[in-house]
Amino acid sequence: MKAIGTVDSGRNFIDFEIEKPILRPHDLLIKVEAISINPVDTKVRKSIKGTLTQPKILGWDGLGTVVEVGSQSKLFKVGDSVFLGWRCHASWFKR
């Protein structure tokens, strides 16, 4: 799966690959179709000290489609359009 993040405070955001997460009972897997670069994303990037060994996933706002639901998810179904707000980690939603 693709993610967006950074490895240090001075670099631009980067695209990178991560493993598909294993859903817990109340989790959703969302195919992100649009994002914004929230001011919080730039502040998190600037707060990084040194260079990280793995990219830090960023993401506070997005829009996408539910592609998988956890076994106990009741509010959403595959195919639902959703808005992601606050802390979603770009591809690790509600983790």
Is 91 inside a domain boundary? Answer: no
- Token couple for 81: 């359009």
Region 54-78: what's the mean pLDDT? 91
**What is the average pLDDT value for the chain, to the nearest integer?**
84
**Residue 91 CB-density burial (10 A; 0-12 exposed, 13-18 middle, 19+ buried):** buried
Residue 91 has pLDDT above 60, yes or no: no
- Token couple for 28: 């959703």
Is 93 inside a domain boundary? Answer: no
Residue 95 has pLDDT above 80, yes or no: no
Short-list 41, 14, 30, CA closest to 68 = 30
Cβ proximity of 70 and 28 under 8 Å: yes
Region 78-84: what's the mean pLDDT? 94
Instruction: Quickly tell me which residue has 């859903």 as its tokens.
Output: 23
* pLDDT tens per residue across span 18-31: 999 899 999 999 99
Name the residue with higher pLDDT: 90 or 70.
70
Domain at 36, CATH number: 3.90.180.10
Is 61 inside a domain boundary? Answer: yes
Task: Read off the pTM.
Answer: 0.76
Number of domains comprising the chain? 1
Is 31 inside a domain boundary? Answer: yes
Q: Which domain does 59 fall in, by range?
A: 2-84
Region 41-56: what's the mean pLDDT? 85
